[in-house]
Amino acid sequence: MIRPARSRTRVGTDPGGNERMSGRALAIVVLGAVTMLLDGFDNQLLGFAVLQIVDEFGSSRAEFGWVFAVGFVGIGVGTALGGLVGDRIGRKPCLILAVLVFGTFTLISATTGGTLAFACCRIVAGVGLGMALPAVTSLVAEFTPARWRHLAIAVSIACIPGGALVGGLVAAAVLPRWGWRELYLIGGVVPLLLVVVLALVLLESPQFLAARGRPGDDERRAAVLRRTGRAVVPPAPDPIAAGAGTGSPRALLGRELRRDSLALWGAFFFSLLGVFSFFSWGPSLLQANGYSLAAASLSITLYNAGGIVVALVAGVLIGRIGSRPVMLALAAGAALSAGWLLLVPPVDGTTGITFVAQIVLHGGCFAGLQTVLYNLASHIYPAGIRATGVGAAGTVGRAGAITAALVAGGLVGAAGHGFLLLLLAAATLAGASLLLVRRHVPARRGT
């Protein structure tokens, strides 16, 4: 007796672990990663150029702080908006719109002549930067076979700090020779060129088309699947998806998802609280403890590098052993490394092996955890509300970043004990939130 083949993909649920990725699907995933690279690049431009900007505008860095804040607000609004738009009109148009917005307003920023006009451009550009994240997360999750999905998502999100690292290199070359306007010109033109490529190469997500179910979507979905070399079969029924509809924020707090949504939001909030506390005030703590400006700046590079490497390793492990043990291990590592910093604080101004190990370990665990939380968000929510769910979690996380900017600075004094206790508490609470999540990514069978 011949048994029916079992390797065909059930789009709308979980593609088989042995499914191969076509060239077109790989191109879509790569474009998502490139978008996140430019997202990270543009998001960090102000940090690199602020001294030149405030000097030209006749302001001070302290007075310019509110411009940083409105950018964070714009990103938070954009992340929520991008989730809603991505689940209503589709991932492709949402992503193209997002890149168009942040590219255009970054470019316009280069022409402004005062603080108010610059701040208005920054907040609108921030909306575009925020909108890109849920669209990319959903597209990568829905075009990548199960075997590689979690690594692909981790790579894409890790491109955000990667973009910041690239931005530092570009800024070091451009700012001394040409100035901040030329740096913003690069940050605007390159995304606008990417818009053309996205329009030509991207395909709409077949899972989104299956979940939306409008007239003609079945034909569009079949065409997408043929172009990506995937089997055309009806999506398996999902009780959560059936009651969620598409793009419904209320579904995130429905009976089936309420606990996981609240726990996920807690994990996002506390992880970004910890990460942005270090980003915002870690260098200041180090300088207060005798470190040079160069050494304090090096700490951010080490922190980001650790986060990128650990996120990629975690992405592989999540695809094999599931998200619960991996994420709890990262939260525990973030707490333990914060405890190490508290017990053996960097106070002597040296950048020896202990200093490097402390920063890389803490950044690896904390920033790595924050990155792979998007893997968990993309798994918890079905296709019809996936972008909405990712966007909501990202927005709550952004509230943690804003809290860090407002609160952590007051804890830097007294050798930074209060600041380091905040990092320890944030890591512990992120881990506790993850313990409450029920729909963790399961381990892959047969590995």
Say whether 59 sits in a helix, a strand or coil.
coil
Angle (CA) 149 24 380, round 5°: 25
Q: What is the pLDDT of residues 154-175, one digit of tens each?
A: 999 999 989 988 888 898 899 8
Q: Among 115-119, 265-269, 275-279, 335-339, whose mean pLDDT is lowest?
A: 275-279
Task: Output 36 or 25, whichever has higher pLDDT.
Answer: 36
* Distance of alpha carbon 129 from alpha carbon 395, whole angstroms: 12
Please provide residue 346's backbone torsions phi and psi, each rounded to the nearest 5 degrees: -75, 100
Q: Over the chain, what is the mean pLDDT? A: 86
* Distance of alpha carbon 127 from alpha carbon 119, whole angstroms: 13
E strand or H helix at 441, and its extent? none
* Distance of alpha carbon 416 from alpha carbon 291, whole angstroms: 13
Structure confidence at residue 232 as a pLDDT band (50, 70, 90):
very low
Task: Output 259 or 224, whichever has higher pLDDT.
Answer: 259
**8 Å CB contact between 327 and 434:** yes
Residue 191: which of 276, 105, 80, 273 has the closest Cα?
105
Structure confidence at residue 71 as a pLDDT band (50, 70, 90):
confident
* Distance of alpha carbon 211 from alpha carbon 255, whole angstroms: 20
- Could you tell me the maximum CA-CA distance found in the chain, to the nearest angstrom? 82
H helix count then E strand count, the chain: 16, 0
Q: Where are the beta strands (DSSP E) in 31-180?
A: none
Tokens 């599931």 locate to 322
**8 Å CB contact between 163 and 40:** yes
pLDDT higher than threshold 60 for residue 254: yes
Residue 314: which of 303, 327, 298 has the closest Cα?
327
pLDDT value of position 227:
79
Tell me the percentage of the chain whose pLDDT exceeds 70. Answer: 88
DSSP of 9-27: --TTS---TTPPPPHHHHH
Structure confidence at residue 446 as a pLDDT band (50, 70, 90):
low
| Mean pLDDT (whole number) for 47-58 | 87
pLDDT higher than threshold 80 for residue 233: no
Encoded tokens for 197: 């490529």
Domains, the chain, in order of start with CATH, read 23-203 (1.20.1250.20), 252-435 (1.20.1250.20)
Q: Among 23-27, 230-234, 292-296, 413-417, whose mean pLDDT is lowest?
A: 230-234
Q: What is the pLDDT of residues 278-291, one digit of tens each?
A: 887 787 778 777 88
Q: What is the pLDDT of residues 345-394, one digit of tens each?
A: 887 767 789 989 999 999 999 999 999 999 999 999 998 899 999 999 99
Task: Output 243 or 305, whichever has higher pLDDT.
Answer: 305
pLDDT higher than threshold 50 for residue 434: yes
| Mean pLDDT (whole number) for 417-435 | 93
pLDDT higher than threshold 90 for residue 49: no
Structure confidence at residue 197 as a pLDDT band (50, 70, 90):
very high
* Distance of alpha carbon 315 from alpha carbon 416, whole angstroms: 33
Encoded tokens for 297: 């700046």
* Distance of alpha carbon 80 from alpha carbon 134, whole angstroms: 8
pLDDT value of position 415:
52
